[in-house]
Structure formats: C-alpha cells, structure tokens
Amino acid sequence: MTKADLPVVMKIENGCQSYPWTLLQFLDGFNAGHDCWVVCKEFEKREMLVGFAVVSTALDESMLLNVCVRPAFQNKGVGRKLLEFLLQKARSEKMNTFFLEVRASNLFAIHLYESLGFEQISIRRDYYPSLVGREDGLVYSFASLSDLA
C-alpha cells in the first residue's frame, strides 16, 4: 500500500466497517512503519484494489491491526489469500506469533480465522463501541508459524 492508495482504501474501509479507521489512523500506520498491503484483482478488464491489511511487528510478534475486503469480493477467497500471505510473510521474517482481534459478532471473520488455524486466547470485555453499548473483542493467535510450509 502507498499513500496514493488511501482514497480507495478509505472508501473500502468506510463501506465495510461500523466504526472505520480515519485517514489519520492510516497515516499514523505509515509513519509508525507498519506493513500495509493491498490486494488487486482484474475486474472488467482493469485492475481494481479490492482489499487491504495493516500489520504491526515488534520483536518476534506480528499483530493484524486492520483487514478489509470490498463487499463485492467477500466470500471469494480474497481475505483467505491475504491472510495466508501475511502468515507466510511473518514466518519468513522469523516471527513466532501472529495476533489479531475481532468483534465477537463478526462470525464470518471468526470462521475464517479459525479455519486458518488461529486459536482464541482471550476476550477483551466491552472493547469495541457498538450501536447499543459496547462489544467484546476476541483475541486470537497463530503460534505455529514454524509449521507453515
């Protein structure tokens, strides 16, 4: 991802998330040195940005901070391929653990993460804002990066 991608990234983010990141949060990610990735697909004979991810790394751990796929491309394997890429990248960089957090209500994402081998390790009670009150955040880890082929 480059800063030139941000208008499209923001459009995808705003179209998918109940509480989207702001442009400033994405810029802070660039400034902090986070790994920012995009997924492009050919669509109607042109390349289109269809998804993105932002990952933070520290020492031997990676943390997925944000991942989003354009709704028209959800449930078509885009998110899975992006996560598989991120896990392989973490493995190649000798990371020991890959963490992520997800809203407890995001059952599609939870299913995807668990199908990839992520395991829930904790709950952050009332972590996310929601339309009524707060919602729990589920923390997952993928600790067997060395087992990836």
Q: Is 101 a catalytic residue?
A: yes
The single residue of 42, 61, 93, 101 carrying the catalytic annotation is 101
Q: Is 113 a catalytic residue?
A: yes
Dihedral, 51, 43, 14, 66 alpha carbons, nearest 10: 0
DSSP string, 71-139: GGGTTTTHHHHHHHHHHHHHHHTT-SEEEEEEETT-HHHHHHHHHTT-EEEEEEEEEEE-SSSEEEEEE
- Longest distance between any two alpha carbons in the chain, whole Å: 46
Cross-strand partners of 37:
53
The single residue of 44, 61, 93, 113 carrying the catalytic annotation is 113
- Residues taking part in catalysis: 101, 113
